[in-house]
Amino acid sequence: MEEVSARFVAQKISKARWRPLPAAALQPPDIFATGSWDNEDNRLALWAVGELGSGEYLGEPQLLCDIGHDGDVMDMQFLDQERIVVASSTGSVTVFRHHQNNQTLSVNQRWEKAHCHVDQDTSCGGAACTGVICNNPEIVTVGEDGRINLFRADQKDAVRTIDNADSSTLHAVTFLRTTEILTVNSIGQLKIWDFRQQRNEPSQIFSLTGERVPLHCVDRHPNQQHIVATGGQDGMLSIWDIRQGTMPVSLLNAHEAEMWEVHFHPSNPDHLFTCSEDGSLWHWDTSTDISEKPSFLHQGGRSTAYLSHNTINQSVVCAWLNNDPTKDRMEITNLIPNQTLSVNSLDVLGPCLVYGTDAEAIYVNRQLFS
Amino acid sequence: MEEVDVEPPLVVVPGADPACRQLCFEWGPAEVLVCETRFDRGGGGDAAPGSSRVFVVRRDQDIYIQTLRKLFNESHGIFVGLQRCEEELAGKSRRAQLVQVSKNYRSVIRACMEDMHRAAAATRDPALHSQYSTQVSILSAMELIWNLCEILFVEAAAAGPLLLRLLDWIRLHVCDVDSMVREVLSSENPSKHKLFWNVVDVFVLQGRMDEARHLLSKEATANPTSMSMYKILDDLMMKMPVPNLGNTQTLTELELKWQHWHEECQRYIRDGTFASNPHMESICKILGGDENAMLEKKELLTTWYHFLVTRLLYSHPTVKPMELHFYAQSSMDLFLGEENSPEPLDTILMAAFEFELHQVIKECSIALSNWWFVAHLTDLLDHCKLLQSHNLYFGSNMREFLLLEYASGLFSHHSLWQLGVDYFDHCREYGRVYLELHIERIPLNTEQKALKVLRICEQRHMHEQVRSICKIMAMKALRNNRLGSALSWSIRAKDAAFATLISDRFLKDYCERGCFSDLDLIDNLGPSMLLSDRLTFLGKYREFHRLYGEKRFSEAAKLLLMLMTAHIAPCSFWMTLLTDALPLLEQKEVIFSAEQTYELMQCLEDLTAGKPDKQKLLVDDVETMKVEMLRLALARNLARVIVKEGTLEGS
């Protein structure tokens, strides 16, 4: 049975991220960061969970330190073990440093107007920075103004800015390769941008079939770089193969409302996690070794959808691409028993899952695959 | 207008001075706006009117207290769970379910109290400390009242178990004596402690017989001379009949046994068995139900309701719920005496003992500054089917009224508005209207917040609100020149008029600059192109340019013609389209057929003939030249095509 610890934190959580583990680490992650939104005084906080060094077991996540943040936390990512990059609804991007000796957070660097509307005289309101992705030391940000910025940590000015990269809002960004990024926007397009090229045009554009439903999140398969998953406003999960065609390979009807985040598990990419405005968090499992997991089949009290008919010898080709519901076996589990408000964010690392909701609570599950 | 129950409290607005500027005010949903007008009083004409300040006076401070947010969120979860849970269960299981819900609410209050207590202990600011301490006492009073309501109304304990529940209630809530108890119990020689007898009295007053006997045994071993007296007292205490929950004895049996025991107590008192030891004597008197003996221990009882329960324990253990109020009133009078008047908490508890539900709710509403408590309690009592649905004079019933007030209060908070939505959902009469009005007034500073609000509206089929929110967001996007965003908002609202506006903007840009901006958008419109005619035209026109660029001239020609003849193109654009036809007409190869050329000529005539009064179009040299060139090109094309078509058929 899984063990979920919860904590009410008196602020709506917009993002939750595990601190990355050092390369050779064996133990599960124990520190995560959360960002809040919709408060007059938003905060970025660091929490500890699991066992402290002294071996004493912490039931609930414990607050290590926090710091005020100007504007809603729109997106967040750890740059390295000590620095966190946070995107704000005011259009600024801030790098915070966590001082481990005295457990405090401080501002390391800030780019104030990373995103803003061009014509300041006629513009109406600010432009939020909606997505941030890091590949130390490079930081890429996208925003409501349709701009893409490439920053380098410790450099004051942007290395590269693509103005008006998109006529609509860019919702999320992720790295495809070290010099290429993927963005999704609010007219249902997935674009690849190559920073080696000087022109300010995407190198490829993919779009959904049918209705141009806005896409909210994107993630790339950790090992196979041509496989990309996106989540849309209608809750649909799309899997794309960017080597071929301009349309998604499979469309899976998932949630009943906007899908906010999609994550491939970094070390077990047969597992995918999505969370949504309808308050559910789904675990998609295409690994075929069902015999090793009898627990999944006998769980009561969770809704388990089971799409399969017969088992196939899975070849080396990725299960996600072969995803034909009539042939392949995929298990989808809702990890939240009684859902109320939106689950805004999730993160998985190793056996641990953390997610934050609009009901002002954070939940940690440290035994995801038991 | 009814009479006011209590004097309205005076609120001083710091900074607002009616002596120097005249003030005006306006009611908001949960606050009052007070602002300075331009009329200034006093000071003659010297006072230069500066800028006016606006003060926002909020009545409900509580929703801004950080530690209470946990209370609001957790109770929201319990509330929604209660509304959703099955109504099919009836009788005992339903009651057990409702009691569980009540216990959940209480544990949430307790958890919040503990957090508040910790915060009070941790803070160094005296003002904050006193605020937290006040909150702790308010929360503990709330829990006290809720617990009593749970015993009397939700669980509706019958005679017998009622007393046990009341005893539990007292033991849980009278904790002023706890530290004394701990001190004595942990001392090395309890019986020598100066507060020893106080603690024994406390145990007896709270009906904790076993613990009292345990302590007394210590005294007995230390003091062998009183061994005989001790044995009698111990025996008496052991034999005391108490109601039990197991239903193994009926009320009459208990009544009988108890009478018997009571008489035995009285006998010992009359005989003066304990006369040599005043402590034991007073204990025996208490056991015999002597009120004066109990009243002597006022500091140990601390409250009149403790006195009430002790009294009931030792004189009427089989009290029925409906008889409670007799004893309650007299207990309060006896305990408080002449000089003390009842506090609000006392009035509320008294109303509960009298089973006056409405009075309880009314008194709580007056005493507490926030609707949280009464809204949730009333909702629970309503589920127990205890509130008659008498309508208040403005239409809805009490439960709904309180929930609406509470949820409106939540909506005035910048962040808790999301909880309010679910409360409105469960108010059948006015919930939807309130929600419609409130949800439009939430400030939308980011697109993500707008999306969440939109999702709430769409799930409840509030189409007006969806349209209005999308229009606001689309207009903002348009002003910021984000045409793609604006289009995506109008697609969401299926707003054809706005889509037309955006397309006109694109076309205007094209006319001014000669090329399209945001090609990635126009090229990929997909099915959303059909949202509005203008948008369809834009898409098709772009397609025409693409076909021309790919040198697929005949298809381009057909498309161009279709745009005009099918009236997809707006009239204002026809000139541009015809001008676009010029290069096609001037090609070496004949592209337009005779039929098509005639149609083009028709279009041109329609265009020029249609505006007899607005000669300005033709007066302009460029325009005249264009028309001339077109006429010439059309004529030449016609000539060539007639020849070509005639020739093919021949040989």
Per-residue pLDDT reduced to its tens digit, B243-257: 877 666 788 888 898
Mean pLDDT for the stretch of residues B105-128? 91
Q: Looking at the structure, do residues B491 and B606 belong to the same domain, yes or no? A: no
> Which neighbouring-strand residues pair with A353?
A348, A365
Q: Are residues B307 and B236 in the same domain?
A: yes
Let me know if B430 is exposed, middle or buried by CB neighbors in 10 A (0-12, 13-18, 19+). Answer: middle
In a domain, B491, yes or no: yes
Res. B432: pLDDT tops 90 = yes
What's the mean pLDDT when you consider all of chain B?
A: 85
Domain-embedded: residue B191? yes
B225 and B291 within one domain: yes
Q: Are residues B205 and B285 in the same domain?
A: yes
**Which whole-number Å values give the CA distances from B253 to B165, B237, B247, B257, B259, in the listed order?**
20, 19, 11, 6, 10
Contacts of A337 (CB under 8 A, 6+ apart): A301, A302
pTM: 0.85
Residue among B309, B316, B192 nearest B254 (CA): B316
Q: Domain count for chain B, please give it.
A: 3
Q: Which helix (H) or strand (E) holds B25?
A: strand B21-27
Of the partner residues B449, B479, B518, the one whose CB lies closest to the CB of residue A122: B479
Burial B96-121 (b: 16+ CB within 10 A, else e): eebbebbebbbebbeebbebbbebbe
Yes or no, beta carbons of A202 and B76 under 8 Å apart: no
Of B70, B81, B482, the CB nearest to A10: B70
d(CA A215, CA A234): 9
Higher pLDDT residue, A247 or B4?
A: A247
In terms of domains, do B184 and B313 share one?
yes
Sequence-distant (≥ 6) Cβ neighbours of residue B203 within 8 angstroms: B209, B211, B212, B215
Structural domain ending residue among the three candidates B285, B319, B353? B319
Same domain, B253 and B214: yes
The closest of B180, B221, B218 to B199, measured between CA atoms, is B180
Q: How many helices (H) and strands (E) does chain A have?
A: 1, 29
What local confidence, expressed as pLDDT, does residue A273 receive?
95
Q: What are the boundaries of each domain within chain A?
A: 12-267
Give CA–CA dist B415/B406, Å, rounded. Answer: 15
- Paired strand residues for A283: A273, A333
Per-residue pLDDT at A295 exceeds 80: no
In the three-class reduction of DSSP (H, G, I as helix; E, B as strand; rest coil), residue B199 is classed as helix
Whether the pLDDT of residue B47 is over 60: the answer is: no
A137 preceded by a cis bond (ω within 30 of 0):
yes
**pLDDT higher than 60, residue A323:** no
Tell me what pLDDT residue A292 has.
37
- Rounded average pLDDT over A271-277: 94
Query: Which residues of B lie inside 8 Å of A (Cβ-Cβ)?
Result: 66-67, 69-70, 73-74, 76-77, 80-81, 414-415, 418-419, 422, 445-449, 451-452, 455, 459, 476, 479-485, 487-488, 491, 517-518, 520-521, 524-528
Do residues A233 and A217 make contact, with C-beta atoms less than 8 angstroms apart? no
Q: Comparing A43-47, B99-103, B546-550, which segment has the lowest mean pLDDT? A: B546-550
Q: B575: closest CA among B603, B599, B536, B614?
A: B603
| C-alpha radius of gyration, chain A, whole number | 20
Q: Tell me what pLDDT residue A56 has.
A: 52
B/e letters for A244-267, b = 16+ CB within 10 Å, e = fewer, are eeeebbbbbebbebbbbbbbbbee
A187/B484 Cβ within 8 A: yes
Burial of B175 (0-12, 13-18, 19+ CB in 10 A): exposed
Task: Examine the domain organization and report whether B185 and B243 are in the same domain.
Answer: yes
Between the two ends of chain A, the Cα-to-Cα distance in Å is: 8
Sheet holding A129-135, edge to edge: A129-135, A138-143, A148-152, A160-162
> Quick check: is B229 in a domain?
yes
* Domain end point (choices B498, B519, B550): B550
DSSP state of A185: E
Low-confidence winner among A245-249, B169-173, B397-401, B541-545 (lowest mean pLDDT): A245-249
What string of DSSP letters covers A14-49?
EEEEEPPPPTT--SPP-EEEEEEESSSSEEEEEEEE
CB-based contact A89:B446 (threshold 8 Å)? yes
Are both B535 and B647 inside the same structural domain? no
Residue B608 lies in a domain: yes
Phi-psi region of A360 (alpha: psi -120 to 50; beta: other; left: phi over 0): left
Same domain, B294 and B179: yes
- pLDDT band at residue A300 under the 50/70/90 scheme: very low
Residue bearing the bigger pLDDT, A201 or A328: A201
Answer whether residue B498 is part of any domain. Answer: yes
Residues B304, B231 share a domain:
yes
pLDDT by residue (tens digit) across B290-344?
888 888 888 888 889 999 999 999 998 888 888 898 999 999 988 888 777 888 8
B235 with B187, same domain?
A: yes
- The model's confidence at residue A316, banded by pLDDT at 50, 70 and 90, is very low
Which band of pLDDT confidence, cut at 50, 70 and 90, is reported for residue A105? Answer: very high
**Distance separating alpha carbons of residues B548 and A265, to the nearest angstrom:** 48
Q: Which domain holds residue B218?
A: 173-319
Question: Does B604 map to a domain?
Answer: yes
From B333, B340, B303, select the one nearest B141 (Cα to Cα): B303
What average pLDDT does the segment A261-288 reach? 91
What is the interface size between A and B, counted as CB pairs within 8 Å?
140
Q: Which residues of chain A have a CB within 8 Å of the CB of B480? A: 117, 119, 122-125, 127, 145
Find the mean pLDDT for residues B191-207. 85
Q: Is residue A1 over pLDDT 50?
A: no
Same domain, yes or no: B470 and B516: yes
Is the pLDDT at B634 greater than 60? The verdict is yes
Cβ atoms of residues B258 and B318 within 8 Å: yes
Give the DSSP per-residue string, A284-325.
Answer: EE----GGG-HHHHH--SS-EEEE-SS-----SS-TTTT--T
Task: Report, in angstroms and rounded to the nearest whole number, the Rg of chain B calculated over CA atoms.
Answer: 42
What are the distances in angstroms from CA B560 to CA B583, B587, B589, B634, B635?
A: 12, 16, 17, 15, 18
Task: Kindly list the residues from chain B whose CB atom is less than 8 angstroms away from the CB atom of residue A277.
Answer: 451-452, 455
Give the helix, strand, coil percentages of chain A, each rounded to 5. 0, 50, 50
Computed over every residue of chain A, the mean pLDDT equals: 84
- What pLDDT, on the 0 to 100 scale, is given for residue B528? 79
Give the range with max mean pLDDT: B42-51, B182-191, B494-503, B577-586.
B494-503
Element of type H or E holding B278:
helix B278-287
Closest by CA position to A357, among listed A290, A260, A287: A260
Three-class secondary structure of residue A8 per DSSP: strand
Is the predicted pLDDT of residue B106 greater than 90, yes or no? yes
In a domain, B466, yes or no: yes
User: Residue B228 — pLDDT band, cuts 50, 70, 90?
Assistant: confident
* pLDDT exceeds 90 at position B87: no
CA–CA min distance A234, chain B (Å): 10
A207-211, A248-252, B319-323: segment of lowest average pLDDT: A207-211
**Three-state SS annotation for B126-161:** HHHHHHHHHHHHHHHHHHHHHHHHHHHHHCCCCCCH
Instruction: Establish if B4 belongs to a structural domain.
Output: no
A310 pLDDT above the threshold of 50: no
Q: How far apart are CA A183 and CA B560, in angstroms?
A: 35
Q: Which of B80, B451, B479 sits opposite A123 (nearest CB)?
A: B479
User: Where a domain ends, among B550, B583, B602?
Assistant: B550
CATH topology of domain A12-267: Methylamine Dehydrogenase; Chain H (2.130.10)
Give the minimum alpha-carbon distance from B506 to chain A in angstroms, rounded to a whole number. Answer: 12
User: DSSP per residue over B468-521, as a string?
Assistant: HHHHHHHHHHHHTT-HHHHHHHHHHTT-HHHHHHHHHHHHHHHHHHSS-S-HHH
